[in-house]
Amino acid sequence: MEARQRHFDRLVEQPADSLWSYWQQLLNDHQVTQLEMATYALAHKLRQAGNEEIYSSIAEVLREPSLSTGQKRWVVDLLTETATSEALKVVLNEAVNSQPSALQRLLLESVLKMTNNRWDARFHPELSPVLEEIWNQRPGDWELLVTVATGIANAGSERGGALLLRAVANSGPTVTKVEKGKNLPALAALRALRKIRNPEVVPILAKELTHADLEDVVFIASGDALAAMGRPEATEALLEWAKQAPREATPLVERWFRQIRDSVSLERLHKDLLQNKPFRSEQIKEKLAVTLKEIEPVVE
C-alpha cells in the first residue's frame, strides 16, 4: 500500500502535459496495471487545474476510430474519475453525437457516475449548466433525456431543480396525467426529481408545498423529492408543511414520512411530537405519530 502511495505521489508531481503523454503511452501499450494508477493521478491533476488542450486531446482520442472499445473504456474512465465540468462536456458531446452502441452506453453511465461523484467531499452543482444546455435542446433520445435529467438531479443546483420542476409543471395538472402523457421531458424530470440529494435544492422544493391543490403535479413531485432525499433539511420542510396541512392530506403524510429513514430526521420528528407542537389538523398529527412508530431507522 505504501509503495502504491509513493508511486501515486511521484505521478502527481509531474506536469499535467507529461502525465497525459505517459497515460497515452500506457493506453497504447495496454499496460493495464500502471494505467489504473495513472488514471487516478491524471484525474487528480485535472481537478486541481483545468487544461483545455488536454481535454481537447482526450476528446480526439475518444473519437479515434482505430481504438478498440476496451481502450475507449479507459478514456471514458479517465473522464469519469475527473468529474469536472470540462470532462462532462467531452462525455456529453460524444454521447449526443454518437449512435446507440456499447460506447454510447458507457458514456451515459459516465454522466451518472460523474454527477454522483462527491470528490472533495461535496456535491458539484457546477456540473448542472453543462447538462442544462443539453436539456434545453430537448433531445429526442429517451435514454439520453433520462440520463441528463438524472444528472441534473444528482448535481443538485437550485437552477437545475427549478428547471426539472418547470418541465413537470408544463406537462399536465396531475402526476397521473403526466405519467399517461407523451411528454418525454416531463416524464424524465418526474423520475429524476426523486434522485435529488443536495440540500441546496430544499428551499425550491419547500416553496412548492404551499400549493393549495393537493393533486397539483408540482406539489406532489416536490413532496416526493423531499421524502426521498433522506436529509434532515428535507424532513424539516415536510414537517413544516404537515403542521399547516388540512386533514385531507393525511394519506400524503403517511406516504411521505414513511420513506424517512435517517436517524437525525427521525430524532427531530420524535422530539417535535413530544414537545406537542401545534398542528392545524389533529388527524395529521396522529397519523404522523403512528407512522413514526412503524419506521425502522437505517443504521448509519
Pick the more confident residue, 139 or 76.
76
Reply yes or no on whether the pLDDT at 131 is more than 90: yes
Q: Quick one: which of 195, 171, 174, 202 has its CA closest to 185?
A: 171
Q: What are the pLDDT digits (tens) for 179-209?
A: 888 899 999 999 999 999 999 999 999 999 9
Pick the more confident residue, 219 or 97.
219
Q: CA dist 87 to 56, 81, 125, 204, Å?
A: 10, 9, 14, 28
The predicted model scores a pTM of: 0.93
- Average pLDDT (269-283) is 90
Q: What are the pLDDT digits (tens) for 78-87?
A: 999 999 999 9
Please spell the DSSP secondary structure of 193-232, one letter per residue. Answer: HTT---GGGHHHHHHGGG-S-TT-HHHHHHHHHHHHH--H
Q: Quick one: which of 45, 102, 113, 24 has its CA closest to 94?
A: 102
Instruction: Report long-range pairs for 58-61 (Cβ below 8 Å, ≥24 apart).
Output: 58/20, 58/87, 58/90, 59/90, 59/93, 59/94, 61/24, 61/27
- Average pLDDT (79-100) is 94
On whether the CB atoms of residues 40 and 32 are closer than 8 A, the answer is no
Query: Which phi and psi angles does 62 have, rounded to 5°?
Result: -65, -30
The size of the chain, in residues, is 300
